Amino acid sequence: MRASQFFVSTLKEAPSDAEIVSHKLMLRAGLIRKVAAGIYTYMPMGLRVIRKVENIVREEMDRAGALELTMPMVQPAELWQETGRWDKMGDELLRFKDRHERDFALQPTSEEVITDTARQELKSYRQLPKNFYQIQTKFRDERRPRFGVMRGREFTMKDAYSFDRDVDAAGRSYDAMYAAYCRIFDRMGLTYRAVAADTGAIGGDRSHEFQVIADTGEDAIVYCPQSDYAANIELAEALPLLASRAAPGADLVKTPTPGKATCADVAALLGVALETTVKSLVLATDDVDEAGKPAGVTVWLLLVRGDHELNEVKAGKLEGLKNGFRFASEAEILEHFGCKPGYLGPIGLLKPVRVVADRTVANMADFICGANAEDFHYTGANWGRDLPEPDLVADIRNVVAGDPSPDGKGTLAIQRGIEVGHVFYLGTKYSKAMNATFLDEDGRPKPFEMGCYGIGITRIPGAAIEQNHDERGIIWPAAIAPFEVVICPVGWGRSDAVRDTATALYEALRAAGVDAILDDRDERPGVMFADWELIGVPHRVTIGDRGLKEGMVEYQGRRDAEATKLAVDGLCAAVLARLGGR
């Protein structure tokens, strides 16, 4: 590719609405242009990156035995209604009617369509296993699209779906996809972690997220530096920080704490460690009878240590809360506690509530908690003596750095990550809902055991940039860079020697299979260098008259602090060596 025939369109400044580094640099480097909120045109430079990402994904999916197809972006409501997701999906599912007043949606995902395909095409166990995948446009009507391609409304995904005859076979399909994902992200040159993740509403008992490590990541990744343990913070197990409960050592005292409604403020007022306080969170569940009619409300009091935070995902897995919960209303709180929030606690309740204590709280003694009276807290509170034992003891908090690792091999650390891939074991959630069955060896129909596996194709460039950039611009991993090498001739329009040497190197590199671009725009050196450093091409060769008189050119890697000289004789071989050989 010659730059004069390509489209290079860089900006000195990012638009004012660009938020994070990747968004700013993708706009400045001319990779994308905004069309509407969360919707972008991928310019030729950006599309080259996307195509390289897609090619790596295709090669590894094909290698793992998956079969590519393409499903429609526009999907009929009837399929979504079979699984109940037409109503459950919420406003992120963009619905519309065609001219015949039939309901359709723009797909954010394709479980329904692929399950419909399987029930029509896969009739016998002899046709299994099968894994179908697509690389297709998706649309999710985000309430507040932000961060450029990281949380857009229109995006490209690779989604794959496996169909197996039993759980063991489904596990093998899952493992094959997990291994393929590792190869994909290894080849892309990304620093990532595969972390155990919550299965959420999809269900099942196996789920891993592939997280690119970046300070701007939305997700918190918990890991143990001394072992292989890694999990999303929603799933990471929090062990009790106290091995056992000490005997009471203080009297229960109702202590004035005027205007101090937070654990931190109470601890500061009393001159004690925050770790001696207990935080109260009040939830409610709306009960129904066997006929599905309203049958009252159950109020729940969840207790975590003052320096800890409630993990709502963990709470949502508790018996009694797994069908959904909400935070209690102020009226419900006053009815059960006789006090407004800020001074709530488990002692002296007006009405019974279900008390759930975090593992650490259950082992605390002489703790401080709200007294259910404004401007007062209890000090010296103890289980068994001052209040009944909790109804349930469970892991309901987020882990914090320094907690013991659940595998017993060290302590936990936390870093930020950007989710670029996710593998799920679905089980029979969709196949049963849609009556998707095959005839097993015994001649009886059985529902498919399914898995789903997604990769955010258009999110990967943003994640790569967040992980690889400096003050000059992007630093692409070579495998997904728009070009591997840029040749920068200084004085292209006035020097035959420069022009001939640059052209010869360009043609030799292309013949060797290198994705090179020759910048024949005849720009000033400063403009050329600034453009290609911003765009992030990994390798640059600069050719000028002064160096050619000495039989030399300059090579500089995008991460190199200085250029090095290469001899014109054997130049192509020397450049190929810098690329790791061909």
**Mean pLDDT within 315-341:** 93
**Judgement on whether residues 379 and 439 belong to the same structural domain of the protein:** no
Q: Is residue 166 part of a domain?
A: yes
**Judgement on whether residues 132 and 262 belong to the same structural domain of the protein:** no
Helical axes 21-28 vs 459-467, angle rounded to 10°? 110
Q: Please check whether residue 38 is in contact with residue 142, taking contact to mean a CB–CB distance below 8 angstroms.
A: yes
Q: For residue 200, is pLDDT > 90? A: no
Nearest to 532 by CA among 545, 546, 517: 517
Which CATH number characterizes residue 43's domain? 3.30.930.10
Taking the C-alpha atoms of residue 443 and residue 77, their distance in angstroms, rounded to an integer, is 33
Q: Is residue 403 part of a domain?
A: no
Residue where the block lists tokens 């071989």: 573
**Judgement on whether residues 522 and 382 belong to the same structural domain of the protein:** no
Q: What is the pLDDT of residues 345-385, one digit of tens each?
A: 999 999 999 999 999 999 999 999 999 999 999 999 999 99
Q: What is the chain's length?
A: 582
Please return the burial class of 86, using the count of CB atoms within 10 Å of its CB with bins 0-12, 13-18 and 19+.
middle
Which CATH number characterizes residue 266's domain? 3.90.960.10
Q: Which amino acid is at 440?
A: D
Of all residues in the chain, the percent with pLDDT exceeding 70 is 98
**Judgement on whether residues 91 and 17 belong to the same structural domain of the protein:** yes
pLDDT score at 16 = 87
Q: What is the pLDDT of residues 284-307, one digit of tens each?
A: 999 887 777 887 899 999 999 999
Q: What is the pLDDT of residues 39-55, one digit of tens each?
A: 999 999 999 999 999 99
Q: For residue 461, is pLDDT > 90? A: yes
**Judgement on whether residues 381 and 419 belong to the same structural domain of the protein:** no
Mark which of 397, 432, 447 sits at the end of a domain: 397
Which CATH number characterizes residue 536's domain? 3.40.50.800
Domain hosting residue 363, numbered range: 253-397
Q: For residue 203, is pLDDT > 90? A: no
**Judgement on whether residues 208 and 69 belong to the same structural domain of the protein:** yes
**Judgement on whether residues 391 and 419 belong to the same structural domain of the protein:** no
Q: What is the pLDDT of residues 377-423, one digit of tens each?
A: 999 999 999 999 999 999 999 999 999 999 999 999 999 999 999 99
**DSSP track, 137-149:** EEE---SS-BTGG
**Judgement on whether residues 294 and 207 belong to the same structural domain of the protein:** no
**Judgement on whether residues 97 and 191 belong to the same structural domain of the protein:** yes
**Mean pLDDT within 67-80:** 96
pLDDT score at 145 = 85
Q: Is residue 409 part of a domain?
A: no
pLDDT score at 290 = 78
Q: For residue 133, is pLDDT > 80? A: yes
Mark which of 371, 397, 423 sits at the end of a domain: 397
Q: For residue 199, is pLDDT > 70? A: no
pLDDT score at 302 = 98
**Judgement on whether residues 94 and 132 belong to the same structural domain of the protein:** yes
pLDDT score at 204 = 54
Q: For residue 111, is pLDDT > 90? A: yes
Taking the C-alpha atoms of residue 178 and residue 184, their distance in angstroms, rounded to an integer, is 10
Q: Is residue 404 part of a domain?
A: no
pLDDT score at 205 = 64
Q: For residue 201, is pLDDT > 70? A: no
Q: Is residue 244 part of a domain?
A: no
**Mean pLDDT within 89-116:** 95
Mean pLDDT score of the chain = 94
Q: At 18, list the tokens.
A: 């660009």
Please return the burial class of 84, using the count of CB atoms within 10 Å of its CB with bins 0-12, 13-18 and 19+.
exposed
Helices (H), 64-166: 77-83, 85-88, 111-121
Q: Is residue 150 part of a domain?
A: yes
Q: Is residue 551 part of a domain?
A: yes
**Mean pLDDT within 157-180:** 97
Greater pLDDT, 351 or 581:
351
**Judgement on whether residues 125 and 204 belong to the same structural domain of the protein:** yes
Q: What is the pLDDT of residues 225-253, one digit of tens each?
A: 999 899 999 889 999 999 999 999 999 99
Q: Please check whether residue 318 is in contact with residue 344, taking contact to mean a CB–CB distance below 8 angstroms.
A: no
Number of domains in the chain: 3
Q: What is the pLDDT of residues 531-554, one digit of tens each?
A: 999 999 999 999 999 999 999 999
If phi over 0 gives left and psi between -120 and 50 gives alpha, with beta otherwise, what is residue 5? alpha
Nearest to 223 by CA among 464, 417, 418, 455: 417
**Judgement on whether residues 124 and 42 belong to the same structural domain of the protein:** yes
Q: Please check whether residue 303 is in contact with residue 395, taking contact to mean a CB–CB distance below 8 angstroms.
A: no
Residue where the block lists tokens 């050329």: 528
pTM above 0.85, yes or no: yes
pLDDT score at 143 = 85
Q: Is residue 474 part of a domain?
A: no
Q: Please check whether residue 435 is in contact with residue 120, taking contact to mean a CB–CB distance below 8 angstroms.
A: no
